Amino acid sequence: MPQARYKQLVDRLADDIRAGRLKPGTALPTHRKLAAREGISLATATRCYAELQAMGLVAGEVGRGTFVREPLPREQGLEMQVAQGDLVDLTFNYPALPAQTGLLRTALRQAASAGELESVLRYQPHGGRPHEKAAVARHLRSRGLSVTGEEVLIVSGAIHGLAATALALLQPGDVVAVDALSYPGFKVVAELCRLELVAIAAAATGPDLDALERLCRRRKVRAVFCMPTLHNPMGWVMPLAQRLALIALARRHGLLLMEDAAYAFLEQRAPPPLAALAPDITVYISSLSKSVATGLRFGFVRAPAAHQPAILRAIRATVWNTPSLVTSICCRWLEDGTVARLEREKRRDASRRQAIAAEALSGLKTRRHPASYFVWLPMPEDLRADAVAMRLREHKVLVSTAAPYAMTGRPPHAIRLALGSVSHEALAQALGRVVEVLRDLGG
């Protein structure tokens, strides 16, 4: 049986189980009956069931046969799960430096003694107070954006900024072009806002703009979601010429550009942001989740003046205003240089972690940026990503398959390794387990 057809059979059965067409407890054909039905050898039928079992989709019972397993709840699957207990988390990035706990303790003491403490108990302006927005604007100027405080809106993290932007500026049924592999959080936003995502194939350093042009001629595209500087999960940085070409295309077709810059601080030599090159058609969204701490939930949106009232209404409808205490601490850190220092230290930390990954994964095909917190690892031809993820979980290592990052269609067989949530020593050990599992499953 050709390799491609063998994979298609496993994929078809897996899709039927996940979609509920094959219910939990269903008895599957015997190995011999499957072989006869599909025109394959008995050994190949046995291998198909073994792979489904490795993926956690079926269970073989001696003397009884093979049965569909009760699937894990969606939020507890292999795809995107925060590690608990003794699991080593290579799924999420929440990079933290040893000194950060002390920084927070000091900031809380300062807040307790500050004259503005009483104000944190009251409602605040939906998009932030003027002095807070001015602090964010000064920070954004260091990232290449020429902005004032009036152009800034403060939100509860980048995902909230994306949701508020989509709620405010897009309508159910709108078509949004997105990289074929992209940030999973935007897929969730699109589902809630009932947007139609259309995947754009990737070129070497960004989306295939010829494919986007053909799409715009064929469909009424409303917006493009993109990560031009340090794309998650592919790690590319779009060169200036490609950014200018994207902007020209957007102007021709009347597109809104939604620029996600959550990881952009890790690349110091990037071209200007899209929002600097085309401020009238770009909404820029970022946060301090990766550069400071994920738990603080502090983000910011820079939007054209015409769009700000609508985004303000969306902020009001979702959180009213961001938590005042968190906002006060983050803005103080923006002003006193703490954020700039943490960004420098995390760039060095990410580079060290990439060096660990380069050594551990030597000889394997990867996609990665030398200063990022993640690695994209395509599977060898004969391996399935979900089987690898399941086996790694048995070895107490949690990874994500490509499924959460695939915007449409069947995801490729690959895993994404988040490098930023464990110690350097634990990272080296976990990556060693990844290599061992690949070797074991690959025979």
Return left, alpha or beta for 85; rule: phi > 0 is left, psi -120 to 50 is alpha, else beta: left
Q: How confident is the model at residue 76, as a pLDDT?
A: 40
Cross-strand bridge partners of residue 61: 65
Tell me if the domain spanning 5-68 has CATH number 1.10.10.10. yes
- Specify the pTM: 0.85
Predicted confidence (pLDDT) per residue in 407-426, tens digit: 976 788 899 999 999 999 99
Pairing of strands 374-378, 367-368: antiparallel
CATH number for the 88-93+341-442 domain, one of 3.40.30.10, 3.40.50.2300, 3.50.50.60, 3.90.1150.10?
3.90.1150.10
Question: In the numeric block, which tokens belong to residue 10?
Answer: 């496993």
Predicted confidence (pLDDT) per residue in 334-392, tens digit: 999 999 999 999 999 999 999 999 999 999 999 999 999 999 999 988 788 888 998 89
Q: How confident is the model at residue 147, as a pLDDT?
A: 96
Given a cut of 80, is residue 75 above it in pLDDT?
no
- Tell me if domain 5-68 and domain 88-93+341-442 are identical in fold: no
Predicted confidence (pLDDT) per residue in 209-244, tens digit: 999 999 999 999 999 999 999 999 999 999 999 999
Q: How far is CA 394 from CA 56, 336, 342, 434, 440, in A?
A: 11, 45, 35, 12, 13
Q: How many CB atoms lie within 10 A of CB 367?
A: 18
- Mention the CATH class of domain 117-336: alpha beta
In the chain, where the domains are located: 5-68, 88-93+341-442, 117-336
Q: How far is CA 416 from CA 114, 350, 401, in A?
A: 43, 16, 6
Which of the two residues, 56 and 317, has the higher pLDDT score? 317
Q: Of all residues in the chain, what percent carry a pLDDT higher than 90?
A: 73
SS (H, E, C) 117-172: HHHHHCCCCCCCCHHHHHHHHHHHHCCCCCCCHHHEEEECCHHHHHHHHHHHHCCC
The whole-angstrom separation of Cα 329 and Cα 314 is 24
Pairing of strands 196-200, 175-179: parallel
Question: In the numeric block, which tokens belong to residue 405?
Answer: 């990052």
Predicted confidence (pLDDT) per residue in 136-170, tens digit: 999 999 999 999 999 999 999 999 999 999 999 99
Q: How many CB atoms lie within 10 A of CB 424?
A: 13
